[in-house]
Amino acid sequence: MTVATTVRAYAAQAADTPLAPFTIERRELRPDDIAIDITHCGVCHSDIHQARNEWHDSLYPMVPGHEIVGIVAAFGDAVTGWQPGDRAGVGVFVDSCRSCDACLAGLEQYCERGMSPTYNGREQDGVTPTYGGYSERIVVDRRYVLRVPDGMDSAGAAPLFCAGITTYSPIRHFGVSNGERAAVVGLGGLGHLAVKFLAAMGAEVTVLSRSPGKIDTARALGAGDVVITTDAAALEAHRRRFDFIIDTIAAAHPYEPYLRMLRRDGIMVQVGLPDPAPLNPMLLVNWRRRIAGSQIGGIGETQEMLEFCAAHGITADVELISIDAVNEAFERTIRSDVRYRFVIDMASLRREDTA
Ligand code: NAP
Ligand code: ZN
Ligand code: ZN
């Protein structure tokens, strides 16, 4: 393949219209490019926020999708170490400046000149729009392509490329160690992987969920305890209990109930990106509590996370859907009606007639 290719995709044309069939161009292969035929793509809540312009920065038409697994179809002249047919993955960004302090430290997600998001962003030229994984094929510089460990199920692997690394990175960075008491707030795509990681790392894990229907699966994922957050007495009983809390809630919510559950010097990490809500500084001051944020993870750390998953038998719990069910999947995700991640079987897009 030496020329740009036209591929089928699903796109949002505006914040208030459903995703619908669309075609996009994938660029001609540059020397360092890898063309990947996409087999699976996870449905992240960030896809919903962005398709609906909830972060107020959406570019249309938008082809969402940044939890991508596929098969290497072709590559440029400078690419070594990859073979056609290899399984490859792509996460939340497809390029960065490669020369700033963050990029040199392997923290490309914090690139000081701005990483190129996989969709709803622009290539490093600052002009060309990027289109994501709800499509047949993607072309990505080899430095931003990851290897899917042998034997790992492709559908279960796809969510690792965003939900997985987004929870793994802060758990590693903020140093949750054996036996520490950790809580996961919100048991969705991110939250269920956070439970698996924390349990595999030896933490004592509690799930804080508003959904009683998730209690049994939360325990099966590795939670020792589940607290239903609509029960004020149960929250009170867990006051100053946790060393580490990871908050994955996708909708605006108060922070106070969770901060009260941190011990002295405990830390609560925000990874969810809902609308803002006020914060009472007294709850931080009184017990020297900390609140922090974390964004996905770097390329090197993402490969490390994949190897950790392979070693511990971790993949996402998924519900496989065809592409024409994606709008319904958005609605069901908002209602927390999925255990725990929708993944699109991209063969369904190849079967669709978009003419
Ligand atoms: P998700 O699958 O929809 O899970 C979010 C969970 O939050 C739900 O399952 C639900 O858990 C809880 N929740 C939802 N609405 C709620 C409400 N109104 N009040 C209280 N709890 C509520 O979403 P996700 O894909 O895991 O993404 C979670 C958030 O992380 C999103 O905002 C997403 O944009 C963000 N994100 C950030 C990064 C990053 O780099 N920091 C990367 C990826 C995603 P329960 O039913 O258990 O309560
Ligand atoms: Zn995501
Ligand atoms: Zn950079």
pLDDT of residue 1: 46
**Residue 310 and residue 196 in contact, taking contact as beta carbons nearer than 8 Å:** no
Q: How far is the CA of 264 from the centre of ligand 1 (A)?
A: 26
Which of the residues in the chain have pLDDT under 50?
1, 354-355
Q: How far is the CA of 143 from the centre of ligand 1 (A)?
A: 29
Please state the three-class secondary structure of 123-181 as a single string: CCCCCCECCCCCECEEEEEHHHCEECCCCCCHHHHHHHHCHHHHHHHHHHHCCCCCCCE
Integer Cα distance of 282 and 105 in angstroms? 35
Give the amino acid at 99: S
Tokens of 354: 């978009």
Q: Is the CB of 295 under 6 A from ligand 1?
A: yes
pLDDT of residue 179: 80
Least Cα distance to 349 among 327, 321, 328 occurs for 321
Match 């699109």 to its residue by tokens: 344
pLDDT of residue 353: 62
Integer Cα distance of 252 and 186 in angstroms? 12
Torsion of CA 103, 105, 110, 112, to 10 degrees: -50
Give the amino acid at 337: D
**Residue 190 and residue 184 in contact, taking contact as beta carbons nearer than 8 Å:** no
Q: Which domains can be identified in the chain, with CATH numbers?
A: 6-162+297-354 (3.90.180.10), 167-293 (3.40.50.720)
Least Cα distance to 319 among 152, 155, 132 occurs for 155
Match 């804080």 to its residue by tokens: 208
Integer Cα distance of 248 and 163 in angstroms? 10
**Residue 42 and residue 146 in contact, taking contact as beta carbons nearer than 8 Å:** no
Q: Is the CB of 270 under 6 A from ligand 1?
A: no
Termini Cα distance of the chain: 23
Q: Decide: helix, strand or coil at residue 43.
A: coil
Tokens of 202: 């030896």
Q: Which atom of ligand 1 is nearest to the CA of 44?
A: 25
Per-residue pLDDT of 186-196, as tens digits, reads 999 999 999 99
pLDDT of residue 2: 55
- The residue whose CA has the least distance to atom 16 of ligand 1 is 251
By most ligand atoms within 8 Å of CB, the mutation choice from 206, 217, 273 for ligand 1 is: 273
Per-residue pLDDT of 297-323, as tens digits, reads 999 999 999 999 999 999 999 999 999
